[in-house]
Amino acid sequence: MREAPFFVAAPPRSGTTLVAWLLHLHGVWIGRAGVTKWPVTNSSVGTENLAITAVAKRETTPEVVRSAVLNIVPRDKSRWLYKKGILAIRWKVWSQAFPQALWVLPKRPLEDVVKSYLAHPGKAPSVDGNLERATHKLRKFAEGQKAISKNLPRHIWVDTDKLGRGDLEEAQRLIEGCGLVYNKQGCEDFIDPSIWHGS
């Protein structure tokens, strides 16, 4: 099972933190992750493994990725995930490194993602608050998602607007679609529609 991780891949501000933490609440390992500096815009949970991110930032081969990541993930963790937007860009390398991975693809309208990105105090400066630059940047991630869904049969889309607004049917579809046992109470306790950036 260590050979079949969950990869959460989407543009930033697509609800990836929400998706990853819901999977974590159902027994999926994340490991040591950085916590957001912006609690008003995100739940104060860490979902991007810092050590794996260091691997993801390097342009490298599938063999190197696989070896490095499996040295990070504890041997007793059969269910684990990695969440990072760059996966939607470098999906070919990561899919070759882990061909049995299930790709979880959070879905939001691009215009909503862009709006949320530009409203985020930690994201907007990277594009100087410019709408055109933000759209161009985020479209690349969305195009990567489409390529994943076209080329990799092991993938599942999740509507994060529904999820963020507390739609437990969408939460159940996500969890069971990942082969996990759905915990309704855990989802109800964690999802907070008041901080959803699609509200």
Domains of the chain, first to last: 6-191 (3.40.50.300)
Please give the residue that has the higher pLDDT: either 9 or 37. 9
Q: Comparing 40-44, 93-97, 129-133, which segment has the lowest mean pLDDT?
A: 40-44
> Residue 36: what pLDDT?
65
What's the predicted TM-score (pTM) here? 0.93
- The pLDDT of residue 181 is above 70: yes
Residues in the chain: 199
For the stretch 104-140, pLDDT in tens is 999 999 999 999 999 888 888 899 989 999 999 999 9
